Amino acid sequence: MEPHMIKQFIETGKIVGTHGVKGMVRVQPWSDSGAFLSFFKCFYTGEDGTGKLTATQIRPHGNVVLIAFQGVDTIEAAEALRGKILYIDRGDIRLPDGRYFVADLLDCEVFDFDSGALLGMLTDVSETGANDVWHITKGGREYLVPAVEEVIVSVEPEAGKITIRPMKGIFDDED
């Protein structure tokens, strides 16, 4: 298996519009909460860290986040950013233990802790409110697994490996 790629720059949201006439943009955040973006000063528009934007003001506003960037001070300049994906530098982030970026989990192989069997590959993560749900795909079938402490044994994104103890019934249609 090829090594799992951990990206240095992580997608964190998309600029979906402008706000006011002084160049603020509306960002749809791709994180647990828009307030998460308030911890950052530097954002990038390229997945390789190009297109650096320095935030001068960040304000959660309903389901979007309003951000003012240095040098973007007209509605025209803000409009030019519409549709751009914003990235943050992994080096700027301190995640609490047991928290991971979805981007790091995708394409990890998922194994059964007790049998060692390969259950499939993590292909998507859904937020349900109570807990995330992991989509594990194998042989064209998709299994939904709650991402809860009782199920997750270990997560090793660098190794591209997740070990779980699945709840009864989820994978029972296997032989």
Of the pLDDT bands very low, low, confident and very high (cuts 50, 70, 90), residue 154 is very high
Average pLDDT score over residue span 110-135: 90
What rounded mean pLDDT belongs to the chain?
Answer: 89
pLDDT score, position 44: 96
Nearest to 34 by CA among 5, 56, 55, 62: 62
Both tokens of residue 18?
């402008």
Exposed/middle/buried for residue 94 (C-beta within 10 Å: 0-12, 13-18, 19+): exposed
Q: Determine the average pLDDT of the residues in 131-136.
A: 90
Q: How far apart are CA 5 and CA 18, in angstroms?
A: 34
8 Å CB contact between 18 and 82: yes
Burial class (CB in 10 A: 0-12, 13-18, 19+), 116: exposed
Within 13 Å, how many C-alpha atoms sit on residue 133's CB side?
13
CA 123 to chain centre: 13
Residue 108 · residue 157 · CB < 8 Å: yes
Q: The domain 102-164 belongs to what CATH superfamily? A: PRC-barrel domain (2.30.30.240)
Residue 3: predicted pLDDT: 54
Q: What is the per-residue pLDDT for 16? A: 96
Q: Span 19-44, mean pLDDT?
A: 89
Please report, for the chain, the start and end positions of each structural domain, with discontinuous segments joined by +: 9-90, 102-164
Both structure tokens of 112: 């059964």
For the segment(s) 9-90, the CATH number from 3.40.30.10, 2.40.30.60, 3.40.50.10420, 3.50.50.60 is 2.40.30.60
In this prediction the pTM is: 0.67
